[in-house]
Each structure stands twice: as structure tokens, then as C-alpha cells.
Amino acid sequence: MVLIHEWDLSPENREGLALHTPTPTLFHPYPLPWGYAIPLKNPNADRKRSDVPEYKIGDKVWLSTTNLNIKRPTKKLAEKQVGPYEILEIISSNAVWLKLPKSLTIHPVVNVSSIRPYRAPAFKGQKADEPAPVEINEKGESYEVERILDSRRHRGKLEFLVKWKGYTAEHNSFESEADVENAKARVKQFYKENPGAIRRLRREVFDAIPWRNMENFTEGDADKKQVLFSWLDVHPEE
């Protein structure tokens, strides 16, 4: 029961209180315009707070990518957190100020529910958390290409099979030519080692192909249709 002193009440409420039979409730039934608000303790508050690590300035943490618009190479990596980032200031028990890259266009003050402690390897050779993105641009964060393994043409567009630096082979993924724009040296090295690999056809090469017109007649119709066949010399009967 919340105890209310008579001198905290207005005259009107004091009269009402005299007519009221008290009941064992947490809240008094009458408003207290000149009284004082008495905070009631949430029994679950301490339990929730105990689950949150105690951070201090200088600690490094991982930042959740749940609410970030970040480029990720594969679906598996999409669940990873980015960082680690240093805590510059403790705003409150629920928020911290992080030292973020300038190109990561989010507010540096984040809720503690969006971070988790970074733990460096305790000894040499110990496996640490998977690395964070190493290259950042104005569109978001990108991952470093370690090597180009293969190329293919998918739905008319050139794609490369990428080995991501710091990640195992299960994370290898086909990426569009535009997505590996910042890894031109890796692409060049791939074609140097694999000169016969599929590559983008330059416009001047495409225009130089000796296309020729072939006449094709449909059954029961005298109308002619122009059909293009390439220099591979493919004939309709084939």
C-alpha cells in the first residue's frame, strides 16, 4: 500500500479521503494535484538489468546489423555483427557512445541491446570472432575480396565466385561485376591465371562479330522472318 500524508492532499481530496474506506491496493483512488508522485518499483527491472554487461569507456564491442543498411556478401554473413568499435562515453545504463567510422551514417549513441562485448583472443592461436568488414564507402560497408575463384554468365550478366578474406569456403558466393568493382586487381589476377574464363564481352568485340541474316519460313505461311545466327555457323536443321 502507498502511504499518503494528509498534508500532501488538497482540501477537496482530504475530504474525500476521510469518506473513503482504505483498501489494500497499490494506487490511491484520488488524484493528487498538489501531492507527490511515488515511484513503484518494477520487480523485473533488476533482473533485466543484471543480464546486461557492465561496460566502461575504452571497451570494444560488436554492433548488431539488425537495423543497419549494410552490404553483406552472403546470407550467412548477414547475421554477423560489425566492429569491434570502442566505447567513448557511457551515456546511461542503457546507452553508450561508440567511435564509429564517418561513413557509417548512424547516430553514435546506441542502446546496449544492440551491442555485445568483444573478447580478444586470450592466447596466440586462439580462434577469435569472425572479422568485421574492412572497407567502408558511402553506400555502406563492404567485405574484402581475397580471391576470385571462377566466373559465369547468369541471366545475361557476368558474375564472379568470390572467396572472402577471413571467411571459410562455405561463405564463397557469386557476386555481380559491380559488386567487385573495388577488387579490380583480384579480377585481373584471376583472368591472368585463367585466360579462358568467361568475361564481359566488350562492345567493340560484339559489334565485330560477323552476324548474318538467315531466312526462315514457317509452315503454311509464306511470310519471311529474319533470324540472326552468329559466326558459329548454326543452321536451322541442326
Question: Contact 152/164 with Cβ under 8 angstroms?
Answer: no
Instruction: Provide the pLDDT confidence category of residue 18 given band limits of 50, 70 and 90.
Output: low
Give the start-to-end residue ranges of the domains of the chain: 1-40, 60-136, 140-193
Please determine, for residue 127, whether its predicted confidence score (pLDDT) is greater than 70.
Answer: no
pLDDT at 98: 92
pLDDT at 44: 56
> How many other C-beta atoms can be found within 10 angstroms of the C-beta atom of residue 13?
20
Tell me the pLDDT tens digit for each residue of 37-57.
445 555 555 545 556 678 999
pLDDT at 209: 58
Chain centroid to Cα 92, Å, comes to 25
Q: What is the 8-class DSSP label of residue 210?
A: -
Place of cell 571497451: 59
Question: Contact 175/164 with Cβ under 8 angstroms?
Answer: no
pLDDT at 13: 61
Q: Which ranges of the chain would DSSP assign to H, the alpha helix? A: 11-19, 45-50, 184-193, 203-208
pLDDT at 120: 77
pLDDT at 224: 45
Q: Which CATH class is domain 140-193?
A: mainly beta
Instruction: Provide the pLDDT confidence category of residue 229 given band limits of 50, 70 and 90.
Output: very low
Q: What is the 8-class DSSP label of residue 163?
A: E
Q: How far is CA 102 from CA 98, 137, 165, in A?
A: 11, 9, 23
Question: DSSP of 80-138, one letter per residue?
Answer: --EEEEEEEEE-SSSEEEE---TTS-S-SEEEGGGEEE----SSTT---PPPPP-EEET
pLDDT at 214: 58
Instruction: Provide the pLDDT confidence category of residue 26 given band limits of 50, 70 and 90.
Output: very low
Tell me the pLDDT tens digit for each residue of 178-206.
888 878 899 999 999 999 888 876 555 55
Q: How far is CA 226 from CA 8, 28, 94, 217, in A?
A: 97, 90, 71, 9
Please provide the average confidence, as pLDDT, over all residues in the chain. 68
- Mean predicted confidence (pLDDT) in 229-237: 42
Most confident of 14-18, 152-156, 219-223: 152-156
Instruction: Provide the pLDDT confidence category of residue 84 given band limits of 50, 70 and 90.
Output: confident
